[in-house]
């Protein structure tokens, strides 16, 4: 069974949410999926993973960040102006507000004391780590193809960005040219040694962490997974490499079915959370 919700954030923006629950199999544990850059809750594997983990006994929360570019149409980037103004700090704040809402009983059918795990894909992996590091009510985190560095731009790109006050990227799937305002670069540079410092977050990360990555990832090289692992507490961290697959584990959008590599990822992630959300 899945349900849709809308959460109003502290600044009045809306977070679109879909939850998944199999009441007969529910174990009392909760998973929150955090999508990545140019991602959204209904992209490709989103609904499939919701159903999958619900059938493994979890209450699953999937959601869209308010400025991810997706509006009323679940699969189209119709809010390009908001996308341009998005920042890492906004996403960390919104994930924290979603977790606060969960703990305050926003999802009435679920015990607010439920053990909680986060799953973050790509950029969402970094956001999950940064958010969880500041909380004591997130019990475990799994990252899928997560980034290890937020500043992913060359000196030339940043110089051009400052001159124009925006940076353009092509969405290869939709063929849309999508702008990033200077605000995202300023956010990264102003906070890279404090609230957005992944190395510091991981060095103080005192809970179980699964770092999963495909060895043929062209968007985020597997070396970034290895760097995250290097920063982490090895006694609490698992590095899971999936060979012969890339950034989305052979899943495409629109969703055309699961893959062998994605099923391996789901199985490993399930084992990780069953073990660490007891």
- The residues spanned by each domain of the chain are 2-150+192-271
Q: Is 260 left (phi over 0), alpha (psi -120 to 50) or beta?
A: alpha
Q: Is the pLDDT of residue 19 over 90?
A: yes
pLDDT band at residue 176 using 50, 70 and 90 as cut-offs: very high
Torsion angle of the four alpha carbons 238, 241, 246, 250, in this order, in degrees rounded to the nearest 10:
-90
Q: pLDDT averaged over the chain? A: 97
Buried-state track 170-185, b at ≥16 Cβ within 10 A, e below 16:
eeeeeeeebebbbbbb
Q: Which residues contact 18 (CB under 8 A, 6 or more apart)?
A: 2, 3, 4, 5, 41, 42, 47, 50, 62, 63
Beta bridge partners of 60: 20, 31
pLDDT band at residue 109 using 50, 70 and 90 as cut-offs: confident
Q: Is the pLDDT of residue 142 over 90?
A: yes
Q: What is the CA radius of gyration of the chain?
A: 18
Name the 3-class secondary structure at 75.
coil
- What's the DSSP call for residue 70? B
pTM: 0.98
Which range among 120-124, 168-172, 197-201, 239-243 shows the weakest confidence by mean pLDDT?
Answer: 168-172
pLDDT, residue 188, reads: 98
Average pLDDT over residues 108-125: 97
Tokens representing 229 are 């692992």
Average pLDDT over residues 72-96: 97
The rounded distance, in Å, linking the Cα atoms of 184 and 179 is 11
pLDDT band at residue 8 using 50, 70 and 90 as cut-offs: very high
Average pLDDT over residues 14-38: 98
pLDDT, residue 167, reads: 95
Average pLDDT over residues 243-268: 98
For the domain covering 2-150+192-271, report its CATH number: 3.40.50.1820
CB atoms within 10 A of CB 160: 14
């Amino acid at each position: 069974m899945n349900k849709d919700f809308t959460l109003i954030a502290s600044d009045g923006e809306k977070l679109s949410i879909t939850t998944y629950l199999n009441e007969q199999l529910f174990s009392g544990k909760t998973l929150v999926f955090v999508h990545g850059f140019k991602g959204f809750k209904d992209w490709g594997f989103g609904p499939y993973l919701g159903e999958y983990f619900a059938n493994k006994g979890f209450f699953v929360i999937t959601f869209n960040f308010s400025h991810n570019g997706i509006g009323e149409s679940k699969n189209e980037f119709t809010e390009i102006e908001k996308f341009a103004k998005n920042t890492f700090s906004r996403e960390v704040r919104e994930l924290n507000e979603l977790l606060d809402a969960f703990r305050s009983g926003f999802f009435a059918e679920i015990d607010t004391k439920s053990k909680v795990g986060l799953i973050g894909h790509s950029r969402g992996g970094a956001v999950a780590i940064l958010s969880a590091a500041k909380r004591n009510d997130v019990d475990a985190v799994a990252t899928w193809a997560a980034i290890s560095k937020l500043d992913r731009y060359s000196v030339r790109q940043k110089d051009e960005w400052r001159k124009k006050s925006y940076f353009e990227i092509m969405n290869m799937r939709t063929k849309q040219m999508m702008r990033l305002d200077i605000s995202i670069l300023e956010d990264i540079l102003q906070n890279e040694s404090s609230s957005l410092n992944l190395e510091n977050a991981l060095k103080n990360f005192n809970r179980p962490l699964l770092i999963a990555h495909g060895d043929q990832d062209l968007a985020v090289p597997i070396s970034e997974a290895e760097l995250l692992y290097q920063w982490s507490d090895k006694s609490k961290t698992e590095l899971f490499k999936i060979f012969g697959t890339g950034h989305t584990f052979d899943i495409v959008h629109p969703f055309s079915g699961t893959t062998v590599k994605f099923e391996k990822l789901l199985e490993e992630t399930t084992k990780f959370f069953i073990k660490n959300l007891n």
